[in-house]
């Protein structure tokens, strides 16, 4: 009896795999794949069966699928309760409403710090009745190294918000937002640190930087035909951070008499207050919105926790490589250089991604749930909000997107109609033009997986 049940189960499993293989092979026979390389692997996590694979060991650029490795490693080695901490110290002494000394912001690589967070520190100063700082406003950025971009990041991605400068003190994704309307262009936040210059209003609308002098002078050509908001990255984000804080202090009638500068916190400093942000909060923005700054700061946090300061991307990647080696693969056979996948130097495989997804699921059930929930959901939110609508993959697929020029990837989890959880990775590379056609194929693959 038991033998018959096992044979029946095996028959059903083989039939399922054949059905998926037939459907997927038919889809992949499209002429699009005559020139576009695709790597794919699908694994049934409930019975440890590989349902489909094609070119699964080929090394391709992961784009933002790199964030799967980074964020998952963050959950394992940092833990969901790890806190990105921004500290405000002071030295000297307080007399009446005057601090006869300096303020020190110690950066902890918080990627989600925004202007409103400054009010936590403003309120702490007010509680001590400090209305006048007779000294300077210093930033301590010793948490990480001095590299402001990842290896292999491309110069012509500047000034895109997808290529933010990296610092221990981050503000508003290290970007400013240009808000356009028919008659007006505004900057948010309004700050002296960035300057808007409008030129040649009869030309096509575009936004660029003062390349020659490499400054935060943002050049607007032409006029926008409709309301829009455009994020532009900022050079020297740590100075941006301190400048905007000083402006917030001014607006709250707290005067900083001295200058802005950079100095490490020393033994004479006293902690005024801290702002902490848990990794369980950061990972949602990291994956749902494919936030590059959050991924890079996670890599630095990993480095600092295990290798000390100054943190570096190389040391953070050592933690990811240690997991790759524990998967039964060899980290030396892949190249990882950043945490976000912005770099064109990264090369990994669909096989690696699926094994990693399976590893988290099998070995860390509670952390798997956090990772699973952090991924965009087909047709519901994040970078998958407008995809898979009115298909069987809708509100089913939890997966990370990835896009570079000529690269489109989708990897994550999907539940089939039998209730089995599947881990999958689809990597496409070497196509010309929009990635929409590649994404359409990925969506069809997800619909096929959802239907079996």
Q: What is the pLDDT of residues 404-427, one digit of tens each?
A: 999 999 999 999 999 999 999 999
* CATH code of residue 48: 3.40.710.10
Of the pLDDT bands very low, low, confident and very high (cuts 50, 70, 90), residue 8 is very low
Question: What's the pLDDT band for 17 if we cut at 50, 70, 90?
Answer: low
Instruction: Let me know if residue 164 belongs to a domain.
Output: no
Q: Residue 202: its pLDDT value, please?
A: 79
Q: Is 340 part of a structural domain of the chain?
A: yes
Considering its fold, how many domains does the chain have in total?
A: 1
Handedness of CA 56, 294, 143, 188 (dihedral sign): positive
Confidence band of 182 (pLDDT split at 50, 70, 90): confident
Structure tokens at 74: 């963050």
Given this model, what pLDDT does residue 322 score? Answer: 98
- Mean predicted confidence (pLDDT) in 105-128: 98
Q: Which domain holds residue 433?
A: 16-80+280-450
For residues 54 and 426, give the distance between their C-alpha atoms in angstroms, rounded to a whole number. Answer: 10
pLDDT at 3: 54
Query: What band does 64 get if pLDDT is binned at 50, 70 and 90?
Result: very high
DSSP type of residue 47: T
DSSP reduced 3-state for 99: strand
For residues 201 and 373, the model is more confident at 373
Question: Under a CB-based contact definition with an 8 Å cutoff, are residues 40 and 429 in contact?
Answer: no
Residue 180, strand partner residues: 185, 228
The answer to whether residue 11 scores a pLDDT higher than 50 is: no
Residue 124 counted as domain residue: no
pLDDT over threshold 70, residue 10 = no
Q: Does any domain span residue 154?
A: no
- Tell me the DSSP string of 300-353: HHHHHHHH-SSB-HHHHHHHHHHHHHHTTS-GGGSB---SSS--SS-BB-HHHH
Using an 8 Å Cβ cutoff, are 86 and 118 in contact?
no
Does residue 193 contact residue 239 with C-beta atoms inside 8 Å?
A: yes
What is the C-alpha separation between 378 and 382, in angstroms, rounded? Answer: 9
Residue 5 pLDDT > 80: no
Asked, for residue 11, whether it belongs to a domain, the answer is no
Rounded Cα distance, 169 and 374, in Å: 24
48 or 15, greater pLDDT: 48
pLDDT grade, residue 452 (50/70/90)?
confident
In a domain, 56, yes or no: yes
Q: Is the pLDDT of residue 19 over 60?
A: yes
Residue 365 lies in a domain: yes
> Can you give the pLDDT at residue 225?
79
pLDDT tens per residue across span 90-102: 999 999 999 999 9
Please state, rounded to an integer, the average pLDDT across all residues of the chain. Answer: 95
Cα-based angle 321, 322, 325 (whole degrees, multiple of 5):
85
Of 31-35, 60-64, 217-221, 358-362, the range with the lowest mean pLDDT is 217-221
Tokens of 302: 């990993």
Instruction: Name 415's Cβ contacts closer than 8 Å, sequence gap at least 6.
Output: 396, 421, 422, 450
Cα–Cα–Cα angle for 268, 270, 273, nearest 5°? 155
Q: What are 324-381's pLDDT values in tens digits?
A: 999 999 999 999 999 999 999 999 999 999 999 999 999 999 999 999 999 999 999 9
Structural domain includes residue 121: no
And the tokens for 240? 């941006």
């Amino acid at each position: 009896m038991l033998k018959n049940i096992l044979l029946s189960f095996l028959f059903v499993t083989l039939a399922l795999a054949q059905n998926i293989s037939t459907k997927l092979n038919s889809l992949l026979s499209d002429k699009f794949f005559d020139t576009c390389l695709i790597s794919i692997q699908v694994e049934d996590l409930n019975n440890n069966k590989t349902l489909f694979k094609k070119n699964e060991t080929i090394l391709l650029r992961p784009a933002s699928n790199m964030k799967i490795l980074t964020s998952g490693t963050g959950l394992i080695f940092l833990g969901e309760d790890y806190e990105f901490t921004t500290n405000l110290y002071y030295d000297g002494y307080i007399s009446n409403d005057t601090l006869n000394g300096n303020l020190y912001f110690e950066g902890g690589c918080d990627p989600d710090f925004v202007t409103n967070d400054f009010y936590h520190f403003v309120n702490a100063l007010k509680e001590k009745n400090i209305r006048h700082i007779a000294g300077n406003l210093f930033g301590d950025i010793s948490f990480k190294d001095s590299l402001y971009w990842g290896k292999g990041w491309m110069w012509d991605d500047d000034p895109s918000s997808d290529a933010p400068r990296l610092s221990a003190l981050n503000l508003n994704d290290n970007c400013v937002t240009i808000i356009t309307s028919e008659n007006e262009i505004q900057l948010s936040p309004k700050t002296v640190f960035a300057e808007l210059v409008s030129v040649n209003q009869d030309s096509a609308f575009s936004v660029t930087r003062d390349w020659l002098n490499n400054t935060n002078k943002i050049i607007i050509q032409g006029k926008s035909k409709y309301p829009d908001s455009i994020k532009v990255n900022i050079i020297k984000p740590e100075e941006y951070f301190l400048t905007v804080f000083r402006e917030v202090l001014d607006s709250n009638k707290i005067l900083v008499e001295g200058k802005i500068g950079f100095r490490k916190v020393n033994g004479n400093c006293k902690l005024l207050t801290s702002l902490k942000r848990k990794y369980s909060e950061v990972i949602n923005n990291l994956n749902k919105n494919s936030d590059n700054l959050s991924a890079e700061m996670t890599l630095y946090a990993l480095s600092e926790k295990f290798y000390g300061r100054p943190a570096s991307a190389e040391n953070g990647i050592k933690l990811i490589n240690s997991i790759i080696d524990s998967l039964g693969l060899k980290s030396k056979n892949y190249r990882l250089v950043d945490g976000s996948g912005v770099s064109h130097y990264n090369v990994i495989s669909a096989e690696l991604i699926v094994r990693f997804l399976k590893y988290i699921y099998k070995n860390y059930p509670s952390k798997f749930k956090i990772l699973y929930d952090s991924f965009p959901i087909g047709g519901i939110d994040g970078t998958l909000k407008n995809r898979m609508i009115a298909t069987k993959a809708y509100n089913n697929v939890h997966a990370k997107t990835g896009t570079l020029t000529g690269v489109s990837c989708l990897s994550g989890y999907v539940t089939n109609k039998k209730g089995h959880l599947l881990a999958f990775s689809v990597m496409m590379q070497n196509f010309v033009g929009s990635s929409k056609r590649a994404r359409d194929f990925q969506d069809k693959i997800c619909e096929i997986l959802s239907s079996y």
